[in-house]
Structure 1
Amino acid sequence: MVSSPIRFALLCVVALALLLASLPAAAGAATVTQPLTFTTSDGAQLRAYVSGEGDLRARPLVVEFSPYAETSFAQQFAGPASFGGSFSAAYNYLIVNQRGTGLSTGVWGAEGPHDQRDVADVLAWACHQPWSDGHIGLYGFSASAIAVYNSLHLPLACVDAASLMAGTADLYRDLLYPGGISNIGPGAVVGLTVGGLLLGSAPSGVQQGESPVSQLQAGIGLATLSAEILAHPTEDSFWDARTQRPDVNRFPVLADTSFYDPEARGPFESFKLLRSRGSHLLVFGAHDGYPAGTEGPFPEFQRWFDHYLLGKGNGVERDPVVQTFVGNGSREALLSGSLTRINASDWPLPGTRWQRLYLSPARAASANSLNDGTLSASVPASRSVEAYPTLPSLPTATDPHTTAALGAGVDVVPALTQMNVVDPLSLTYTLAPFSHAVDVVGPASLDVFVAATTPLSDLHAVLADVWPNGSAFPVGQGRLRTSYPKIVASRSLTDSSGEVVQPYGDYSATAPAIPGQTREYHVEFWPIGNHFAAGHRLRLYLVGSSGFMLPGPPGLNLVSAGGVTPSRLLLPVTALSAWCAARGPGSCTAGSRPRAASPACVRGHALTIHLRAPRGQRIVAITVTLRGRRIVLHHIRRAAIVRVRLTRLPRGSFRVRIDGVTNRGERIRLTRSYHSCGSGQRTRRPGGRG
């Protein structure tokens, strides 16, 4: 029989052992890594590596699926040195070489259906391994973030949260075909990187018993994938399978990007899809790095995992839902730490008002461009036509998103990243200097009337912050191939007056223009975030497509502005009062605050609106839009007259928009603003033009 003192000592030893087993590994303990192989349902062998500090006891698991052939999370992890290659010793880390990459067999599908199924199957397996306690967090950067976004329509076992940097919601429009134009530069970088790492891992694969045949198959598959991407220039079923879809999961996602990232659009769109489940959005930096004096999104990523995987009450769920770093005048200023921090509860930022700025031939005397035009708060009375050549432009200046991923080296020569160098081959439209600072944050749109001399042409628009010394820094860009004049109205973002401020282009089929035919195009700008200081100007450039993209044939684009072709920029402004103060009296266009004086009102009768066709043409179809309802009129007998009956309208302001199409395919738009008297009020003549 064991004596009481001995029994007590044994109990103390057991208790101490249990206590030590429950504690995290000591700080600075050696990282233990174990190679693993997972066999997929179709027979592919996925190589994976699980790592932990000191040992591989059961812990919460952070998982990444990467095509970039790393053998540990610490090698792949994109955090700063202060994070030491991991978020914390409290977690184990699993990195999976995606099929057809690294030491995994099969063929990589650019985050296609097989890659997505692998994500779901690996997570279901990993959840019940001895090195997992059943709580999983997903981490991803760029391709590995896309792997998660594209898999959200599948059940992802044991996942409590995700922290994803960059990535896409729609691989076609967010990276490889923005505006329907082949973004061949970034696409080639991805292909060459994955292919180079695959080639580099071949000797190691042979040493570990991998068949050279499987490596050859992976290489051939990668080459075939590249050809397949080029063979699908429209957004068809190939791309639908690589698009984020409604998901069956409920875990919150912390999405991060920057306003200059090459995949900037994706996280904004993903956040909007995932907002209802407690997801948050950071605009702190990704491929382009992070502002000086910050550590990017990584402290927030760790807090996110600590809360949702470890159960820490750190209050992360009460943080502002949207947090942004907005550069003070340029990407270079942002990276140097000159920024304005703006937090909000949603995206686009609540209270954003889109100001309408019309392209005008009036000279600004500020640019050395082909026209040196201006932006006006009202439509120029007469129509003007100005041309520019559709030659490839200097990409380091005209494509700030792709340029941002090149690193600081490109900034050594400032002329390479400023728009002034492209002035002689571009059209420009410039505002007068701001008298007060203005924050421009949100998606933007350019409605522009263009005739091209070739059946296929590209529209490339750049917004620049022009500093008092004349330097013009790109802060936003919009792209569109003229083969895609249509938009999907149901998926486009509209403001409170019903105007489309973020067009969702219809890239399902091409509709080439007849050379010389003027058509209206709706160009989407990726989200913009820039603080325009007092004394700075805003300038719109129309220029040849970026040299990073696959160009169309050379020719001329003829831009119509004013009169029956009111080309305009819709610009997101976060504080209307600041915009009005900075621009002066009369500068607040439609969508601004109501005037203090009571406007003239109308009630219950028909309005007559005259829509005039250009000389020598006739109007063959008209669409009337009133309060979100559209009526299409054909067989127009008196083409210049439209009668709109106003019945049962509530009291308040509304807009009537008339869109006409001529027998030559030219589009004409008129917009009128009215104020309804409602019932029991005297009818007065309507006000003027909106």
Structure 2
Amino acid sequence: MAADPVSTPSYTGMIIERNVEIVTRDGTTLRGDVFRPDTDEALPVIMSMTAYQKDMPWRPWEGIDALPTENQNWETPNPDRWVPYGYVIVRVDTRGTGQSPGIFEPLSAREAEDFYDAIEWAGDQSWSNGNVGLSGISYMAINQWRVASLQPPSLRAIIPWEGFSDQYRDGVFQGGILSYAFLVNWYNGVMYDNILRGWDNNDPDAFGNSFLFELMRHRLDGPFWEARRPIWEDLTVPVLSAGNWTGFYGAQHFRGNTEGYKLAASEHRYLRIHTGGHQDAFYSEEGFQTQLAFFDHWLKGHDTGLLDEPPVRLAIRRSVADPADFEWRSENEWPIARTDYQRLHLTSDGGLSPSAPGRTGRVDYMSPAIDQHDEIIPAGMAAFVSEPFEAETEITGEIMAGLWVSTSRDDMNIHADLYIVHPDGTEERLTRGRLRASQRRLDPEMSTPSRPWLAHDRIEPLVAGEVYPVEFEIWPTSMIFSPGSRVKLVIASGAYHTRTWDRQEPEATNTIHVGGDYPSFIQLPIIPSQ
């Protein structure tokens, strides 16, 4: 979408109300801050529910195009930017964090109910016109998906900006493999900020729960995770899903934005995929104008031209290292309908070939794959590289891998990373896929020809030495491959951010079988030149 906003910064003066009490359905009192124009006019509300303490200021670091004001808070809309345009900004501490009492239950069904109640409270205030929108990055994007599917009557639109939507698949158990380092570091960081960092906290005992245990205890998908994900058929409000091709944290959330766009039942849904750091685009002038046009349309009823624009806007990259090296392009759908899916077959000599080898071969690699310096050792990975592209080639969309594998133990972790190798030999990682082989069963109803969907509903151990076919998704990407550049696929048994090297004990030989009866491949989305 590339609509134009209508609102102008015509409101002067700001009224700030801190620690306003919001009573939830079970009698718990949450506390929020309200930033509104100094006017008697009833105006639309943009709300965020944060786990990162609404009172803790954040000064954007160099390079982020954000207003460094005292009201700026981590990964939430800046009141000093929005209020002059005629919007009320409301930030609420989620239960058990900051000034809100209770036990911290991150991204739970209870938190979604609290969010619902806060939305309805905001819609009923004298300074509100009854239209509430949601916005925020990361945590403040994730919790939008679930509450929107509960259909609060005052909720009109949401902007989940770089936030996963399926907590099991996108965040905690990617491919069935626990995202250990990300999960533990995140939770302990939030606990540290609330208890020890020095900002007032209503109840430091709020973290005395079994959150991490409960996540690890439920290693398979099921009712526990179902209660934490959106009810997709009930998510009918307009949604602008904003994803990021790049960055550790941006990429960590990315699948949620593309799948959320596909699965939401909203008649009016939009997808934009940008580049750069996790906060960069949200606070950029371009990002602000995009959000303003969306909310001007759905919260104020202005004709911004939104309905005349294609629903998908993609940053088509030429580089990972340079986030500015891209061109915007609009599309009518995601995945792109004109995609030409092409397979490259793995070969025993480390190649990627358009045709499957006629003779059977094998490539062995060891587990564990990580040394004491958190680096993948050569013996712990298998690399496959294509021939150079003869002409400029665009790869944009969903990717999948189909492998035939075996191991000397009863399970194996598969970490598949896709790279571009530039003509000068430099390499840049584009995207990744993950699979715990004992959770290889697919859900045929959710799978598509370009994106397998793992059911994650049972553990099926492997028999040592027996060969098994597995299919799994490699998360979408976009890149222009110049003539002379190549595709590289690296497969390993571990990666630092999942810390899976201490899970496949003590050592194992993992094997990828290729050629003949085992035509292992990756499938790439080639976009024909227009």
Partner of 2:64: none
Q: Report the secondary structure of 1:489's partner residue.
A: coil
What letter is aligned with 1:76? N
Partner of 2:65: none
The counterpart of 1:492, out of the listed 447, 450, 454, is 447
Partner of 1:452: 407
Distance 1:101 1:29, change over 3 A: same
What letter is aligned with 1:227? F
Gap runs ≥5 in structure 2: 1-6, 58-70
Instruction: Give the stretch that moved more between structures: 100-109 or 282-291.
Output: 282-291
Q: 2: CA distance between counterparts of 1:465 and 1:479?
A: 19
Count of matched residue positions in the alignment of Structure 1 and Structure 2 = 503
Partner of 2:425: 470
CA RMSD of aligned residues (A): 2.8
Partner of 1:661: none
Partner of 1:608: none
Partner of 1:265: 255
Q: Deviations over 1:5-52 (max 9, x none)?
A: xxxxxxxxxxxxxxxxxx999655245233211222223221111111
Distance 1:56 1:447, change over 3 A: farther
Q: Deviations over 1:68-117 (max 9, x none)?
A: 11138943364799x94437440111111111111111222221111111
Q: 1: CA distance between counterparts of 2:83 and 2:508?
A: 53
The counterpart of 1:300, out of the listed 268, 285, 290, is 290
Q: Report the secondary structure of 2:72's partner residue.
A: helix
Q: 2: CA distance between counterparts of 1:318 and 1:53?
A: 31
Whether the 8 Å contact between 1:154 and 1:247 is mirrored in structure 2 is: no
Q: Report the secondary structure of 2:460's partner residue.
A: coil
Distance 1:128 1:138, change over 3 A: same
Partner of 1:353: 340
Instruction: Give the stretch that moved more between structures: 547-556 or 470-479.
Output: 547-556
Q: 1: CA distance between counterparts of 2:419 and 2:479?
A: 10
Partner of 2:395: 440
Distance 1:445 1:263, change over 3 A: same
The counterpart of 1:219, out of the listed 192, 207, 211, is 207
Q: Deviations over 1:306-327 (max 9, x none)?
A: 1211222221222221111132
Q: 1: CA distance between counterparts of 2:155 and 2:142?
A: 16
Q: Deviations over 1:276-317 (max 9, x none)?
A: 511100102475354799646322111101121122222122
Q: Does 1:52 align with 2:39?
A: no
Distance 1:395 1:293, change over 3 A: farther
Q: Report the secondary structure of 2:219's partner residue.
A: coil
Matches within 5 A, 1:190-209: 190-200=186-196, 204-205=200-201
Whether the 8 Å contact between 2:318 and 2:481 is mirrored in structure 1 is: yes
Q: Does 1:559 align with 2:508?
A: no
Task: Give the superposition deviation at 1:192.
Answer: 2.1
The counterpart of 2:223, out of the listed 231, 237, 242, is 237
Partner of 1:256: 242
Distance 1:119 1:201, change over 3 A: farther
What letter is aligned with 1:356? R
Higher relative contact order structure (alpha carbons within 8 Å, sequence separation ≥ 6):
2
Distance 1:134 1:346, change over 3 A: same
Q: 2: CA distance between counterparts of 1:68 and 1:394?
A: 34
Q: Deviations over 1:394-422 (max 9, x none)?
A: 8999xxxxxxxxxxxxxxxxxx9xxxx86
Q: 2: CA distance between counterparts of 1:321 and 1:422?
A: 44
Whether the 8 Å contact between 1:360 and 1:375 is mirrored in structure 2 is: yes
Partner of 1:153: 149
Task: Give the superposition deviation at 1:549.
Answer: 0.4
Q: 2: CA distance between counterparts of 1:137 and 1:477?
A: 33
Distance 1:357 1:136, change over 3 A: same
Matches within 5 A, 1:25-424: 29-54=13-38, 58-71=42-55, 74-76=71-73, 78=75, 84-86=80-82, 88-200=84-196, 204-205=200-201, 214-216=203-205, 218-221=206-209, 224-248=210-234, 250-260=236-246, 261=250, 262-274=252-264, 276-285=266-275, 288-290=278-280, 295=285, 297-329=287-319, 331-333=320-322, 335=323, 337-361=324-348, 363=349, 373-393=350-370
Q: Report the secondary structure of 2:82's partner residue.
A: coil
Q: Deviations over 1:120-149 (max 9, x none)?
A: 122222211112111111112111111110
Q: Does 1:533 align with 2:482?
A: yes
Q: Does 1:514 align with 2:459?
A: no
What letter is aligned with 1:430? V
What letter is aligned with 2:73? Q
TM-score by length of 2: 0.88
Distance 1:374 1:88, change over 3 A: farther
Q: Deviations over 1:351-395 (max 9, x none)?
A: 11210111112x4xxxxxxxxx11112221111011011224489
Q: Report the secondary structure of 1:502's partner residue.
A: coil
Task: Give the superposition deviation at 1:193.
Answer: 2.8
Whether the 8 Å contact between 1:340 and 1:531 is mirrored in structure 2 is: no
Larger Rg: 1
Q: 2: CA distance between counterparts of 1:60 and 1:395?
A: 53
Q: 1: CA distance between counterparts of 2:163 and 2:371?
A: 25
Distance 1:281 1:25, change over 3 A: closer
Identity of aligned residues (%): 23
Whether the 8 Å contact between 1:268 and 1:281 is mirrored in structure 2 is: yes
